[in-house]
Amino acid sequence: MKNKDSVIIVSGGMDSITLLYDMHERIALGISFDYGSNHNAREIPFAKEHCERLGIKHVVINLDFMPQYFKSSLLDGADAIPEGHYADDNMKSTVVPFRNGIMLAIAAGIAESNGLKYVMIANHGGDHTIYPDCRPEFIASMSEATKNGTYPGIEILAPYKDITKGDIALRGKALGIDYSRTWSCYKGGAVHCGKCGTCVERKEALLYAGLEDTTEYEEARR
């Protein structure tokens, strides 16, 4: 444990699971947030599974107030999720206002409470245009705030902030990650829908990395 200096926000999706394996030697604690989205129940079990596999303690923090006070299609049921690519304007409806800011603030408090120094988050370059709280300038500002607002100077590490999801998939390929044990779909059904922005992005990333896509998609069932 002497080399463990970080907590990680781990959703159970491709990006955070890749970062979990990439940095596991430094990670003391994996934190998942249940904020009432359509897909939390599908992805959090994967976060738990991979943390356990790596011998990393995993906790789930309930943010069930968010659907009551926050406006986002991500919190309004599967039928509210738009279909299409992240480049499409309609995907902006999936933004949960300041979600990462809330999660990072909580994670920073947990890091300080456990004698740790860093909070890791797996936002990537493709997130920047649609999600304001994934952009490098936000992460830098938030890190400055947590550094100034904690006794040990907690810092936020976002190693993937300047690379694409395809690049992350390449990293996962090198690490031997089984991406079938991750979840992406925002609709949160029995299987991936194959049509929402996260499903489209998942397909493109796996193709880019030359990985066989073994994800079960709803569209393939028809």
Does the annotation flag 198 for ligand binding? no
Does the annotation flag 127 for ligand binding? no
Does the annotation flag 6 for ligand binding? no
Does the annotation flag 11 for ligand binding? yes
Q: Got the DSSP string for 38-54?
A: TTHHHHHHHHHHHHHHT
CA atoms within 13 A on the CB side of 23: 26
| Residue 5: CB atoms within 10 Å | 15
Does the annotation flag 51 for ligand binding? no
> 13: closest CA among 197, 208, 219?
197
Q: Are strands 6-9 and 118-120 parallel, antiparallel or unpaired?
A: parallel
Does the annotation flag 73 for ligand binding? no
Strand-by-strand arrangement of the 118-120 sheet: 57-62, 27-34, 6-9, 118-120, 155-157
Does the annotation flag 185 for ligand binding? yes
Does the annotation flag 14 for ligand binding? yes
Binding residues for Zn(2+): 185, 193, 196, 199
Binding residues: 10-20, 185, 193, 196, 199
Binding residues for ATP: 10-20
